[in-house]
Structure 1
Amino acid sequence: MKDVSKISILSRRPVKMAEDAKDPRVNVILHKDFEKYDSELLSQLKGASGCVWALGISQTQVGPEEYVKITKDYTLVASEAFETLGSDEKPFNFVYVSGMGATTQPGRFSAIFARVKGETELALAEMRKTNPSFHASSVRPGYVDASSHDAIKPYIPAKLPLLKAAEVFMGIPIKYAMKSYWSPTQDLGRFLTEMAMGRYKDRLKAKDIQMEGDFPILENSAFRRLSGLSR
């Protein structure tokens, strides 16, 4: 996207795709502790208009406590640090990448990911309520599919054969018969970036966008609709 002037990436390790791109706009900031953001780090982010917070992990890969720490705690610590980057004239846009199935009204049988992501959304909604210069929002992607996104394929970690086969088996009907669940990575990445730039702030009133006060929660169908993808 040519209208993006600078991209700062917080990562525990070097980002190969960024190294290969050799784009002067991209700055990788090595950050080991996602529970702490000091003034030196925040000074490197000064002037940023927004953040796409996509840090996460599957609930099947870690225990419940670690899942809450990564999914909820890390998000809220970061948002508390980044809310200082905005101003009344130029609010900071914090875009939380949640997931389809997340809920702010969990039931007895709600999966841990659904409950924890929903709790995180509600906490961000409260932050937005108390700080008018912090414009938090949430997007709930569905089946995130990189099969047509050649630029990122070399950088996607290899998957176990069984998992890869299951993904293909499930992906075909979603792409062709259940498109409202489909999140192509190239379109999704562009949309999340535009959300962080505040592009859709006047278009966030619809049936597939849940509002918690002024905090919008966009279902996958909302992302597709606003991106001009077929439903």
Structure 2
Amino acid sequence: MKVIVSGATGRIGGACLARLLSNVQVTEVVVLTRRAVSADSPKLRVVLLTDVEFLSYPAHVLKELEGAVGCIWAMGANSFPTLELARKVTVDYPLAAATAFASLAPSTNGQKFRFLYSSGTFVPEDPNATGLWFLGDHRRMGSETCQKLQNLSLATENLDVIIAKPGGVMGAGMAPPVAEWIMRCIAPSISIQLEPLAAAEVDVILNGSENKVLQNDDLKAWGQKALNKV
């Protein structure tokens, strides 16, 4: 299987990349990135994209992606220098990608292209939600992206959108020690370890999911089951 990953220079995307490269079912991983990726594997193909290409996907880029069964979209950040840039990366990039990937030739078995978007528990259902006392603009943008991706999936024949909504992600370098202690001791139900999250996302992209929105508990259970397969 051939899989696309965005956000591979981040913690979640990087963990998904490592797991994909070690999976015997996966024959090739194409990383879409704006900067170099430090990974060494004969399965890995790195495609450096400009800002324009992240929004347009010209023919030579789509050629690199032919044959892929899906994409794990893990690009994002909690802070950007401007809201304009935040909107471009949070909303415009994934929507442009999903639209472009849906135009790829369907697989020989008729399986739709899977687009797994990494969102979060704290992203509201309503893009116009009020009373968001932390990261309000970013969370509303994330909500808008989820809504538009789901609408695109319904309107597009060759696209299966799955939204992953993990809680606070814990693991090496994910959060300061104090924040990890708070999440582990005070709010364990809204946290998840990086390893089972990556395991869940990789298993979903390879095998699909009937549930199109995976909440934190879903991802925990799915990730543990995937880890137990090994």
TM-score range, shorter chain: 0.7 to 0.9
Tell me the TM-score normalized by structure 2. Answer: 0.78
Q: 1:184 aligns with which of 179, 185, 193?
A: 193
Q: Deviations over 1:119-139 (max 9, x none)?
A: 111101111111132001111
- The equivalent of 2:222 in structure 1 is 226
Which residue identity is paired with 2:61? L
Equivalent residues of 2:66, 2:105 under 8 A apart: no
Q: 2:99 aligns with which of 46, 55, 80?
A: 80
Question: % of aligned pairs identical?
Answer: 24
How far does residue 200 in structure 1 lie from its aligned partner after superposition?
A: 4.4
| Most deviating of 187-196 and 133-142 | 187-196
Structure 2 counterparts to residues 146-185 of structure 1, below 5 A: 146-147=171-172, 167-185=176-194
The equivalent residue for 1:29 is 47
Q: Name the amino acid aligned to 2:29.
A: I
Paired residue secondary structure (2:68): coil
- 1:1-231 alignment runs, 5 A limit: 1-16=23-38, 18=39, 22-33=40-51, 34-58=54-78, 60-87=79-106, 89-105=110-126, 106-110=128-132, 111-147=136-172, 167-197=176-206, 199-202=207-210, 204=211, 216-228=212-224
- Deviating runs (4+, > 6 A) in structure 1? none
For 1:96, what is the secondary structure of its paired residue? strand
* Cα shift at 1:226: 2.0
SS of equivalent residue, structure 1 residue 49: strand
Letter in 1 for 2:103: T
Per the TM alignment, residue 107 of structure 1 is displaced from its structure 2 partner at its CA by: 2.4
Q: Deviations over 1:123-165 (max 9, x none)?
A: 0111111113200111112222232xxxxx7xx9xxxxxxx6x
SS in 2 for 1:226: helix
Deviations 1:78-127 (A, max 9, x none): 11111112528121000001112111224222311221111111101111
One-letter amino acid matched to 1:95: L
CA distance in 2, matches of 1:193, 1:40: 26
Q: Report SS of the residue matched to 1:15.
A: coil
Q: Equivalent residue for 1:211? A: none
Secondary structure at the aligned position of 2:56 is classed as coil
Shift of 1:176: 4.1
Distance in structure 1 (CA, Å) of the matches to 2:105 and 2:161? 11
Runs of 5+ consecutive residues of structure 2 not aligned to the other structure: 1-22, 226-230
Is 2:72–2:116's contact at 8 Å kept on the other side of the alignment? yes
Match in the other structure for 2:6:
none
Distance (Å, rounded) in 2 between the aligned partners of 1:180 and 1:45 = 37
Work out whether residues 121 and 215 of structure 2, in 8 Å CA contact, stay in contact via their aligned partners in 1: yes
Q: Tell whether the 8 Å contact from 1:49 to 1:86 is kept in structure 2 after alignment.
A: no
Letter in structure 2 aligned against 1:178: A
The residue type equivalent to 1:15 in the other structure is: V
Taking structure 1 as the reference length, the TM-score comes to: 0.77
- RMSD over aligned CA atoms reads 2.0
Higher-Rg structure is 1
